[in-house]
Amino acid sequence: MNINKSTGEILRENREKKGLLLRQVAAKLDIDTAILSKIERSERKATKEQIIKLAGILDLKEEDLLVHYLSEKIVYEIKDEKLGQKALKVAEQKIKYINKKNA
């Protein structure tokens, strides 16, 4: 998966490669076509559940698509923060600590 592409761009490219129409995929997700169009244009964020369903519909590796989706959420949350990268490193350490503690 190209890390320089948005999740929406990846979804659109793969939907088009499979020859699926927006309305077909939207129906499988049980959402309006306009909402899926906005997700593909990165004007709206998909939910985690929608990403999981889209991975199945578009024959994408669920783990890869989820990692891309989650990383994008993090990036957009901290991208304008002066200390964003430093905070990200601390967060990574915290995650390791919490996971070790809960193991």
| 66 domain residue, yes or no | yes
Residues ≥6 apart with Cβ < 8 Å to 34: none
| 13 domain residue, yes or no | yes
| 83 domain residue, yes or no | no
**CATH code where residue 21 lies:** 1.10.260.40
pLDDT at 5: 94
CB 69: neighbour CB atoms within 10 A? 22
Number of domains in the chain: 1
With vertex at residue 54, the alpha carbon angle to CA 6 and CA 46, rounded to the nearest 5 degrees, is 55
What digits encode the pLDDT tens for the residues 58-75? 999 999 999 999 999 999
| 36 domain residue, yes or no | yes
pTM: 0.85
| 101 domain residue, yes or no | no
- Which class for 45: exposed (0-12), middle (13-18), buried (19 or more C-beta within 10 A)? middle
Domain that holds residue 17: 7-78
Confidence band (pLDDT; 50, 70, 90) for 85?
very high
